[in-house]
Structure 1
Amino acid sequence: MSPEFVLETRGLTKEFRGFTAVDSVDLRVQKGHIHALIGPNGAGKTTVFNLLSKFLAPSSGEIIYQGKPITGLQPNQIARLGLVRSFQISAVFGHMSVLENVRVALQRKLGNSFHFWKSERSLEALNERALQMLDEVGLLEFADTLTIELPYGRKRALELATTLALDPAVLLLDEPTQGMGGEDVEMVIGLVRRAAVGRTVLMVEHNLSVVSQLCDRITVLARGAILAEGDYASVSANPLVREAYLGSEAAVLEEGHA
């Protein structure tokens, strides 16, 4: 593995009862890049993510992280190594405050996860860092708000803060803008840019306008295999990619390129 690649797959394959969902994928993610996985529905993007984050075991192939094989490791083991996934569905505690959610994540990083019985005083040492992280994602004013009361876009910002509390070297983002209106999408674009400083981001994203604004490199999947790779300009001009997307989505490719 080249030192410039922080995450790599070799011949990564996943079969489900004879159906090949991921077909010999050789993915290389360069250190410091924001890298997108895109493709039409059923292309295998989420399955690749599930394989990388170890929620599925590959049928064959290897996953290499920072030069070392991680194919046989468990999700908690790779998280401790710095490969952390933020889920498509917001995964925060609704009946805890925004500050408490980040504090729990910081406890996990320290190896003291979910010690809810600890005294408030013993947890206050984490407050300064938690508040700093909330400030970074624009949630400082919501620190004492119950999470369940946050608008959807703000919940996703909180989810990102709790993920960053684990101090990932590589951040896996699964559909960070799904279900959002235009204002929230722009907010998340800014958050991802800030989150990417000093780390690598690999994201699955359907919103091609977001991809065109954020990503250094794009891998296009179709029928479980890599169809094309490159920057947005080259990928969006590729006739095979346009054929795979067809109709309105192909038009979005052109619009994002313009």
Structure 2
Amino acid sequence: MSSDIILETRGLVKEFKGFVAVGDVNLQVRRGTIHALIGPNGAGKTTCFNLLTKFLEPTRGQILFDGHDITRDKPADIARRGVVRSFQISSTFPNMSVLENVRVALQQTLGTAFSFWRSERTLDQLNGRCMELLGFVGLAEFAHLKAMELPYGRKRALEIATTLAMDPKLMLLDEPTQGMGSEDVDMITQLIKKVAANRTVLMVEHNMGVVGNIADVITVLQFGQVIAEGPYAEVSRNPQVLEAYMGSADEELAGAH
């Protein structure tokens, strides 16, 4: 495994009672890049993410991260190695403040992860780092609001802050701009760019404008198999990709950049 490849899958297969959801996927994610996984509905993108974070066990194949075979690791071991998925710890706690949400994620640095009964004072030492992370994602001024009071786009920014609190080497973002208006999409797109300045990002994303804007490499799945891979300009002209998106997305793919 080349040292510039942070994540690799070899012949990754997932079958559900004879149905092949992911079939022989060979993926290589380069260190320090934004790599997007795209494809029509039912293409196997989420199943792929679930295999990488060990929410599902592969039927066959191998997953390597940072040179280590992690195929049989448990989800918690994967997170400890530095592979963190945006929802893993960040379906935010609605009744806790924005700052408290980040502090829960940071508790692992004290070795008191999720010990809610601990005295709050023992956690105050984390506040400086919390504010740093909130400043990074543009939420410092909202620190004392309850998470439920944040507008939708800002909630996603909070999820990214809690994910960053885990200090990931590889950040997996699952549909980061889903359900957003264009202003929020722009905000989150810029935030992903900023996050990726010193780490690797692998994202599943439907919005072709976002993908065309920030992805260094795009892997296209259809029926659980890779049908194309490369930079956006190349992938968006690939006849097989255009066909997979069935006409209506031809314009979307061609006009997104």
- Would you say same fold, with TM above 0.5? yes
- What letter matches 1:114 in structure 2? F
CA contact (8 A) 1:90 1:155 kept: no
CA contact (8 A) 1:36 1:217 kept: yes
Within the alignment, does 1:12 sit opposite 2:12 as a pair? yes
With over 3 angstroms needed to count, the CA separation of the structure-2 counterparts of 1:189 and 1:14, relative to structure 1, is same
Q: Aligned with 2:96: secondary structure? A: coil
Task: Map residues 161-180 of structure 1 onto 2, 5 A cutoff.
Answer: 161-180=161-180
CA contact (8 A) 1:99 1:131 kept: yes
CA contact (8 A) 1:12 1:22 kept: yes
With over 3 angstroms needed to count, the CA separation of the structure-2 counterparts of 1:183 and 1:88, relative to structure 1, is farther
- What letter matches 1:113 in structure 2? A
Task: Map residues 150-169 of structure 1 onto 2, 5 A cutoff.
Answer: 150-169=150-169
- Structure 1 position 114, deviation (Å): 1.2
2:55 equivalent in structure 1: 55
Post-superposition CA distance 1:200-258 (Å, at most 9, x none): 0000000010000010000000110000000000000111110111122121100014x
Q: Aligned with 1:11: secondary structure? A: strand
- Structure 1 position 147, deviation (Å): 0.7
- Structure 1 position 137, deviation (Å): 0.5
**TM-score, structure 1 normalization:** 0.97
Post-superposition CA distance 1:147-174 (Å, at most 9, x none): 1111111111101000000000000000
- Structure 1 position 36, deviation (Å): 0.3
2:95 equivalent in structure 1: 95
| Count of paired positions | 257
Within the alignment, does 1:252 sit opposite 2:243 as a pair? no
- Structure 1 position 4, deviation (Å): 1.1
- Structure 1 position 47, deviation (Å): 0.4
CA contact (8 A) 2:89 2:105 kept: no
Identity across aligned pairs (percent)? 61
C-alpha distance in structure 2 between counterparts of 1:18 and 1:218, whole Å: 28
1:114 equivalent in structure 2: 114
C-alpha distance in structure 1 between counterparts of 2:218 and 2:19, whole Å: 25
CA contact (8 A) 1:13 1:25 kept: yes
C-alpha distance in structure 2 between counterparts of 1:137 and 1:193, whole Å: 11
2:22 equivalent in structure 1: 22
| Bigger mean CA deviation after superposition, 191-200 or 55-64 | 191-200
C-alpha distance in structure 2 between counterparts of 1:126 and 1:80, whole Å: 19
Task: Map residues 1-258 of structure 1 onto 2, 5 A cutoff.
Answer: 1-87=1-87, 91-257=91-257
CA contact (8 A) 2:89 2:162 kept: no
CA contact (8 A) 1:88 1:175 kept: no
| Bigger mean CA deviation after superposition, 175-184 or 108-117 | 108-117
C-alpha distance in structure 1 between counterparts of 2:111 and 2:246, whole Å: 48
- What letter matches 1:111 in structure 2? G
Q: CA RMSD in A?
A: 1.2
